Structures are given as structure tokens and as C-alpha cells.
Amino acid sequence: MTKLEIKDLHVKVKAEPEHPEILRGINLTINTGEIHALMGPNGNGKSTLAETIMGNPAYLVTQGDILIDGESILDKAVDERARLGLFLGMQYPAEINGVTNAEFIRAAINARRPKDDQIPIMQFIKQLDATMDQLKMPEDMADRYLNQGFSGGEKKRNEILQLMMIKPHFAMLDEIDSGLDIDALRIVAEGVNSMRGKEFGTMIITHYQRLLNYIVPDFVHILKDGEIIETGGAELAKELEKTGYEHLKVGDANA
Amino acid sequence: MPETLTLPNAPKIPLRRYLKQTKDDALVAPATVDAPSTVVVDHPDSVVMPATNDFEKWLNAKPQSVTTINIPAGFSDQTPIKLTGPVDGGGLVHITIGENANVVFQERWTSTGSMLGIAVAIDIAAGATVNWLAYDAFKADTVLLQRTVNMAANTTLNLTVAGFSQNSGASLLTTNLNGDGAEATINVGVLAAGKQHLGYATAVTNFGRKTVGHINQRGVITDKAHLVFNGIGHIVEGARGSDAQQENRVLMLSEHARGDANPILLIDENDVTAGHAASASRVDQRQLYYLMSRGVSAVVAKRMVIRGFLEAGLGEIRDADLKQELFDAIDETLVNADA
């Protein structure tokens, strides 16, 4: 089992030091084997939390710590964090011309393996074909340039393809359901569910209960005004679907 | 040289200063050509080359190695005809391609020297299809180079210039769409490093009706190098139904790298389509972050972004070995730049 701990995390946007903190003391522990859902109104810090854990250089940690198995990762660059087992399925994946999807995924897998033990090409292709098949992605998407000209839904599916090929310990999935039709949503959810196990934990950021019908969370957290104001089980998400966030106030978590 | 020089249109390229220098004057062995026996290769004492301005006169000035290549009408072979420039000098190359020929051509230059002049003229007769690759890997200090292509009716040219040289200087590429229905796609991919100061002027002129000229230039600049891209699309009066498009983009990798992208569109006819795009930018941090978030190192991520950027200029290169050679050259240059 691996443990990801967020302790009293305060975060600012690096380019806007005069602006107030976006995250104001987040405490959260995710163990592998657990599925956490992070919900809350727009613009309250959910993506900032995921990006900061991943190591996006646009954000500045002003207080607190992020630890994997007790060791701080704050001074580690984004690629080191990835190799330690973190993965972020992004809301807006970048498009990279000239690098094929397959080539990139292989480079990502090989970055985790020693130089003298790179993944054999046939084994890689087999695994890629099977995973793409599972996600119902057309074959030619392996040879297309990374996210280049992909539709919104294709990009999201491609994030899950990378997740399933790289097999991280912790996946943060940022609005992986946006832009997906109902069939695609089910396929993507099945992909994530197939990762479930003792060595995999995830934090799913979503606005909609619908995704959580397919990927049933163990914990649901509500993030508002830069703080986690409530934590509950899967039923909390269902409740919110009826009541909305408006009635929830900072400080309620301790009440 | 006279005090007032007549010069081709090449903004921000110091041709006047370059032409004050003396061209290397040792007569060297001419270019070698690897071609089927139906192709006539000769090395006459002189050849008629374009000579409309002082730049061209400078290029033509003797002594000069001369190579002529005559590809007959109806020639059809997808095996590349290969021209290799002199190892230690420049020269003149004149190529004629006969009617309805279908030709794949590769030029390769690795010449050493201090001040080289190179002129290549290509005349393409009606109905011919030409896939052309120019691989410039000069080791000389300074090179002034001009390629001039004249295209007759219903010809097709797909030209890629891979600029991986160590020299400073100028590269002028002029394509004249003389005949109706002629179509040219000109791709230029350049890697500039060290203290190189390089200027490219890539021009396509639509003379014929329903002609199509597309220019796509991509340059990566590192160290203290300076790269200038001029794209010149000119549709003359009467060239109805023609199309001129161009894209000039430079990517700067270091603090002291300098890049210019100048799109120039000259339109003298109403019934045409034309467009341009240009940018001078640094490596996209969002792209780097995305790639690195999957575990690849900063160095590998940067190379992927750069390779992708150049791909748009070099994507037409079908020769897998050559492509690998170019990618290796990119990696090597970047390793040196990182050090």
C-alpha cells in the first residue's frame, strides 16, 4: 500500500503573488485501494489542488506539505513525481505535433524502467492494442500525433488510455467526464474501474453525480473557498445532487 | 563590385556586406551525380545561369565548378537521383527535367571552405512531377546559396530544404510558377546553433493561371544563433484563380537566440486566394508540463516539442534513414546546447 498525504496545504498562483491563496489549508489522505471524489463549485480550487500535487510550476505552495509514504515531494519536479507514481488526467490536455501517441506512451513507460530493461516493442504493441480495444478507440489513434486534432471526447479517452498503460499508483482525474457522451462516459468509467485494486488510488474531480454512478467512490469531499468543508461516503454526492453547494459553508466540516 | 548593387528582395539579410567578401577561388572538383544512364550528366566549362542582379553575378563569377544534369522527357523512376556537392567548394548546377517526367531528386552539401557561392537552377518542363530534397549541411564559414526553379504548365513540385549547416550566410530559394496549373509546395526546416547568422528568403511567384504556391518554413534556434525567415508570395496581374499561402515560424530555445519571421504577400490580381501566418516563440511550457507529467524527463520532453515543431517543415521527407539522420543531428545539437 502507498499513501499520499496532503497536509495543511496553502497555494497561490505564482504569477499573482498579491492575490489571496486559492487553497487555504487542505488536509487529505489517499491510500492506494481507495477512490476519492472531489466535488465543489467552480473556481474553488479543485483543479489547483490536482495541479499542485502533480507539480505544475504555475502554482506556489506557501505553506504545508505533500508526501508520498511520508516523504515530501515538494522539491521534486513534475517528471519525478510522475515516476513516483502520480498521474494527472488533465482537463485540457496539450496537443503535441510530430510525436505519435504510441511513441509517447512508450517513452512514458520506458522512463519508469531502467535503461537496460526497456519494454519490448511487441509486448508494448500488444498491450496498447488490447487497451485501445477496451476503450473502443480506433486503431489509427495510436499513430496520430499526440492529441493533435482530437475532439474533446477523444482527448479524454486518450488520457484514460495513458493512465491504463502507465499504471500509476495515484491518478487524479480532472473533469474526465466533461465532453463525453453517455456511452463514452461508461467506457471511460469501465477503464478506470479496471484499474481498481490494492495498488491503485484515485481522486476524481467532477461536477456530476452521474460519473459516480459508474465509479462508486469510497469517499466524497466537498471543496469550497479553498478548504475541504465536508467529507462523506458515496451518499454525500447523491445528496448534493438534490441540494447543491449553496447551503454548505466553510467551517461546517468541524461542526 | 560597383558602389550601387542591384540585389534580390531579401529583407534583413545583409547581402551587401556579404558580397564585399571574396569568393573562394580555388577550382574544385565538381559535384558528383548518382543517376541511371538515361540521365545525362556533364561538367562543361560554363553554363547559362540566371544573372539578373549583382548577387547572381557574384555567384556566377569564375572560377566555378559546373555540373549539368539532363533528365529526359517521360523519365519515370522513384529511386532518387543523388547529387553530392564538392567536399571543398561551391559551384553551379543546372538541371533540366523533360516533359511528363516523374523524378525524385536528392541534393546533399557538406562542403568546407571560407566563402562559398552555390547556384542551382532547375527547369521543369510541362507535365513533370518532381519530389526534391535539398540537404544542406555545409561546414564552411560562410555560404551564399541560391536555388531557382522555373516551372512550366501543369507541373508539380514538392521541395523540402533541410538546413542543418554550420555556416552563416544566405539561402535564397525562388520558385517561378510560369505555366498555368503549376503547383509548388516548399517546405523549409532549419536548425541554427552556435553563432550562426542565417537568412532565408523563400519566394514563390504565381505567373500562370490557377497556379498554387505554398511556403512552410520552420526554424529552431539555440545558443547565440540568429535566423531570419522571409516568405515572399507574389501573385502577378493576370494569374487568375491562383493561390499563395505561407507559414513562417521560428522557435527560440535560448536566451540569446534571435529569430525573425517575415511574411510578405504581394497580390496584383483580384481573383485569387492568399494567406499567411508567422510566429517567433519560445518552447511552450504547457506542452513541456504535459509531457513531463507522464514521467519523461525535461530533456526528452523538450526534444519531443522541438521535433514536433520541425516536423511541420520536414514532414515530407520519406527517406527513413535521412530522417533518422536529421533527428540525430537535432539531438546532437541540443545536447551541445544543453551542456
Confidence of residue A249 (pLDDT cuts 50, 70, 90): low
Confidence of residue A255 (pLDDT cuts 50, 70, 90): very low
- β-partners of residue B95 are B69, B122
Query: Is the pLDDT assigned to residue A254 strictly greater than 90?
Result: no
CB proximity list for A242: less than 8 A, separation 6 or greater:
none
Quick one: CA dihedral A45, A49, A50, A56, positive or negative? positive
Confidence of residue A246 (pLDDT cuts 50, 70, 90): confident
Say if the Cβ atoms of A96 and B287 lie within 8 Å. yes
Q: Which residue from B minimizes the CA distance to A82?
A: B295
A88 touches chain B (CB under 8 A): yes
Interface confidence, given as ipTM, is: 0.94
Q: Are A6 and A31 in contact (CB under 8 A)?
A: no
Say if the Cβ atoms of A79 and B286 lie within 8 Å. no
User: What fold characterizes domain A3-96+168-254?
Assistant: Rossmann fold (3.40.50)
| Assigned C-alpha cell, A230 | 465536508
| Assigned C-alpha cell, A3 | 499513501
Say if the Cβ atoms of B295 and A79 lie within 8 Å. yes
Assign A144 to helix, strand or coil: coil
Q: How far is CA B163 from CA A161, B67, B179, B221, B315, in A?
A: 37, 22, 29, 12, 14
CB proximity list for B277: less than 8 A, separation 6 or greater:
B246, B247, B248, B249, B263
Chain centroid to CA A57: 17
Q: Are B84 and B174 in contact (CB under 8 A)?
A: no
A144 touches chain B (CB under 8 A): no
Percentage with pLDDT > 70 across chain A: 97
B304 touches chain A (CB under 8 A): yes
**Pairing, β B91-97 against β B66-71:** parallel
**DSSP H stretches of helix in chain B:** 15-19, 54-60, 285-292, 298-314, 320-338
Say which range, A78-87, B114-123, B149-158, B253-262, has the weakest mean pLDDT: B253-262
Report the C-alpha gap between B189 and B219 in whole angstroms. Answer: 6
Q: Are A108 and B298 in contact (CB under 8 A)?
A: no
Residues of B in contact with A107 (CB under 8 A): 296, 300, 304
Residues of B in contact with A95 (CB under 8 A): 287
Report the C-alpha gap between B221 and B213 in whole angstroms. Answer: 26
Say if the Cβ atoms of A112 and B295 lie within 8 Å. yes
